[in-house]
Amino acid sequence: MSRRTIRLRLDGAAAADRSYAIVIGRGVIDALGSSCGGAAARRAVVVADAAVAPTHAARAVASLTGAGIETTLLVVPAGEASKSATHATRLWSDFARLAVDRHTHVVAVGGGVVGDLTGFVAATFARGLPLWQVPTTLVAQVDSAIGGKTGINLEAGKNLVGAFWQPRGVFADIDTLATLPDREFTSGLAEVLKYGVILDAEFFAWLEEHAAAVRRREPAALEHIVERSAALKAHVVERDEHETTGLRAILNYGHTFAHAFETAAGYGTLLHGEAVAIGMAAAARLAAALGRVEPDFVARQDSLLRALGLPVTAAHLSWTPPAADDLLAIMGRDKKTLNGQLRFVLPTRIGHVELVDGIDAALVRRVLES
């Protein structure tokens, strides 16, 4: 069992240390029990979706039980519909029935849906329970399981309800990526590439060189991309935990476009990473139109998107986007707009982006139409 550990350092009110480890490697799920046991857990509740309950979640339960921790497994249906007030209420009731208290540790095993839902329930039951994230999809390992954002969807929109609630630790088991459907695995690579563009030119170059190994899911390549991505995410979260300084906003590179694409397509048509991929392609073109990047920036990013199997335009997804004006109207409602002005995260070069306010809607329309 190989293993790499990243430490996410956070201070807290009254000098409480809220730092935690992100453990990455093959078979690290089996180390869960000793870590929770080391944190003095005696009881645990594992929440998993139905897709991973018999496999990854069963291994988590075995590890916890093996460490002498009395463990209960709760299963939620697979899919985005579980990230709802209805399922949060159901889990709250389950926790009450199990007499869960502040000494019970909560373990989320699965993708972003389970991590966000379980995190929210852990944040709010008894005003907060110790939480461990065990992400089993690529996008969860490199993004959603790290940094303490938890939440549920309302009918009116995604992630409208939630809390900042940091886990005690994250266990990213590389072995769980072997069985992911290809479309889902590839979609997760969009967030990986994003880290290269926004923060790390060297990592971007590494991805250019090793794209084939990544797509073959070679364990060493997977360990490297998960570790590098997790380290970059941790770096940002350490400096702007609650999204107040603007730094954390750079993680939204490509996302203003992506959310408009997802909303227009209806959730479920595009995978999130696919929307982010064409969103980054659009953001690069917007930056080029503003003269903010050298012309070869767009071509270089497009090449890596393609090399990783990601789409560059909607046409690659056999999806016909709506008129540019409809997409602009959706962007105007995005919670990342400030007082109605369009705001984008735009690159200046590979490895660096900036938050740019007051973007002319006509220019965005031209990019969308091209």
Burial class (CB in 10 A: 0-12, 13-18, 19+), 244: exposed
Binding mask 87-116 for its own copies (x = CB under 8 A): -xx--xx-xxx-x-xx--------------
Q: Find, among 325, 333, 304, 319, the residue nearest to 369 by Cα.
A: 325
Binding footprint of its own copies, residue count (CB under 8 A): 41
For its own copies, the binding residues in 46-65 under the rule CB under 8 A are none
How far is it, in rounded angstroms, from Cα 186 to Cα 81? 22
**Tokens read off for 192:** 């990986």
Nearest distance in Å: CB 144, its own copies:
14
Is residue 68 part of the contact set for its own copies (CB under 8 A)?
Answer: no
For its own copies, the binding residues in 144-183 under the rule CB under 8 A are 149, 151, 154-157, 160-164
Q: Which range, of 125-133, 136-144, 248-256, 259-267, touches its own copies by CB under 8 A?
A: 125-133
How far CA 304 is from CA of 141, 180, 229, 314, in Å, comes to: 21, 21, 16, 17
Enumerate residues 6+ apart whose C-beta is below 8 A from 311: 274, 277, 278, 305, 317
- Nearer CB in complex with its own copies: 151/347: 151
Among 5, 7, 12, 363, binds its own copies (CB under 8 A): 12
Is residue 246 part of the contact set for its own copies (CB under 8 A)?
Answer: no
Enumerate residues 6+ apart whose C-beta is below 8 A from 276: 190, 191, 194, 254, 255, 258
User: Which residues are tagged catalytic?
Assistant: 127, 149, 191, 233, 243, 248, 252, 255, 259, 272
Are the C-beta atoms of 73 and 53 separated by less than 8 Å?
Answer: yes
Binding mask 274-313 for its own copies (x = CB under 8 A): ----------------------------------------
Is residue 341 part of the contact set for its own copies (CB under 8 A)?
Answer: no
Q: Which range, of 32-40, 121-129, 173-181, 311-319, touches its own copies by CB under 8 A?
A: 121-129
- Nearer CB in complex with its own copies: 124/186: 124
Are the C-beta atoms of 249 and 149 separated by less than 8 Å?
Answer: no
Helix axes 255-265, 272-289, angle to 10 degrees: 130
Nearest distance in Å: CB 245, its own copies:
8
How far is it, in rounded angstroms, from Cα 352 to Cα 220? 26
- Nearer CB in complex with its own copies: 296/357: 357
Contact footprint for its own copies (CB under 8 A): 10-14, 16, 18, 85, 88-89, 92-93, 95-97, 99, 101-102, 120, 123-128, 149, 151, 154-157, 160-164, 241-242, 244, 333, 335
